[in-house]
């Protein structure tokens, strides 16, 4: 691998939704604001939750004064927000944009119900709402927007693998408890449960209890080390 390619890869990468690129103007952003937003997403992926105006200026070639104005516009347009982490540091968050995207998708989605009964329409609406709620929950726990590839993976879990939203949320909980914010990690959890024929919250709870009992039983079976005690007088 050439040095230039290594340097190129060191900059990292992000997945950008095609929907965002095609509809950013309808979401209230101009091209300059979109560039700054994408820079914030890239910075977060690199562990920088609150990049400075100077850093953003160096990355984009936009003056620091204009950077401040663009950030102010993004906040005032409810595209981004600023909050504090548990350690008291500031961070940019993107949940507000996720809500805007949800609303725009709703306005563009034209599901032909034809002569479906009201019950079928209600079921369809509930399914869409449940799926959107799942997307939102994962995004909130991960602290970032989901890429188009990640959204497709979640859809495949539901449509092809037939995992219920309930079991996916439980896998998310296990992932968060392990502090691994990755869909690949969640996928391994789901596959493991599938191999064990675990499909409900109750079965997950039972499996966790069995695992905990196994750990406790194993610890009890560990023999205590017998440390011989000698009197100094007897060693002469």
Which CATH number do you get for residue 149? 1.10.10.630
Q: Is 60 exceeded by the pLDDT of residue 111? A: no
Dihedral sign, Cα of residue 116, residue 118, residue 123, residue 124: positive
In a domain, 3, yes or no: no
Other CB atoms within 10 A of residue 226 CB: 6
Residue 113 is predicted with a pLDDT of 46
Residue 200 is predicted with a pLDDT of 86
| Whether residues 138 and 210 fall in one domain | yes
Task: With beta carbons less than 8 A apart as the criterion, state whether 96 and 136 touch.
Answer: no
In a domain, 66, yes or no: yes
In a domain, 143, yes or no: yes
| Whether residues 103 and 142 fall in one domain | no
Of 171, 175, 158, 160, which is closest to residue 198 (Cα–Cα)? Answer: 171
| Whether residues 142 and 90 fall in one domain | no
In a domain, 65, yes or no: yes
| Whether residues 20 and 90 fall in one domain | yes
Distances (CA, A) of 87 to 83, 91, 123, 180, 197: 11, 11, 43, 19, 41
In a domain, 232, yes or no: no
The mean per-residue pLDDT over the stretch 93-114 comes to: 77
In a domain, 121, yes or no: no
Q: What is the mean pLDDT of the chain?
A: 83
Residue 229 is predicted with a pLDDT of 47
Residue 223 is predicted with a pLDDT of 57
pTM of the prediction?
A: 0.50
Higher pLDDT, 158 or 213: 158
Residue 235 is predicted with a pLDDT of 46
Residue numbers of the domain that contains 213: 129-218
| Whether residues 89 and 147 fall in one domain | no
The mean per-residue pLDDT over the stretch 83-89 comes to: 86
The mean per-residue pLDDT over the stretch 125-137 comes to: 85
Identify the band that residue 5 occupies on the pLDDT scale cut at 50, 70 and 90: low
Identify the band that residue 153 occupies on the pLDDT scale cut at 50, 70 and 90: very high
Residue 89 exposure: Cα atoms within 13 Å on the Cβ side = 9
| Whether residues 32 and 103 fall in one domain | yes
Looking up tokens 């990049």 gives: 51
| Whether residues 102 and 47 fall in one domain | yes
Q: How many domains does the chain have?
A: 2
CATH code at position 93: 1.10.10.10
In a domain, 124, yes or no: no
Residue 232 is predicted with a pLDDT of 45
Helix (H, G, I), strand (E, B) or coil at 27: coil
| Whether residues 17 and 103 fall in one domain | yes
């Amino acid at each position: 691998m050439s040095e230039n390619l290594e340097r190129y890869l060191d900059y990292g990468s992000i997945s950008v939704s095609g929907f965002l690129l095609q509809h950013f103007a309808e979401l209230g952003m101009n091209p300059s604001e979109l560039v700054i937003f994408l820079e914030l997403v890239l910075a977060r992926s690199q562990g920088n939750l609150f990049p400075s105006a100077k850093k953003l200026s160096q990355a984009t070639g936009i003056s620091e004064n204009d950077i401040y104005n663009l950030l102010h516009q993004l906040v005032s347009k409810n595209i981004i927000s600023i909050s504090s982490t548990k350690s008291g540091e500031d961070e940019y968050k993107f949940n507000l944009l996720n809500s805007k995207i949800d609303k725009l998708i709703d306005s563009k989605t034209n599901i032909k119900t034809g002569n479906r009964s009201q019950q079928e329409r209600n079921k369809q609406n509930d399914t869409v709402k449940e799926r959107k709620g799942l997307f939102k929950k994962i995004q909130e726990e991960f602290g970032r927007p989901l890429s188009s590839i990640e959204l497709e993976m979640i859809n495949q879990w539901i449509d092809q693998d037939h995992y219920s939203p309930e079991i996916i949320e439980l896998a998310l909980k296990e992932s968060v408890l392990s502090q691994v914010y990755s869909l690949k990690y969640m996928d391994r959890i789901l596959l493991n449960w599938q191999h064990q024929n675990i499909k409900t919250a109750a079965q997950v709870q039972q499996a966790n209890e069995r695992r905990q009992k196994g750990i406790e039983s194993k610890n009890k079976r560990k023999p205590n080390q017998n440390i011989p005690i000698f009197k100094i007088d007897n060693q002469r």
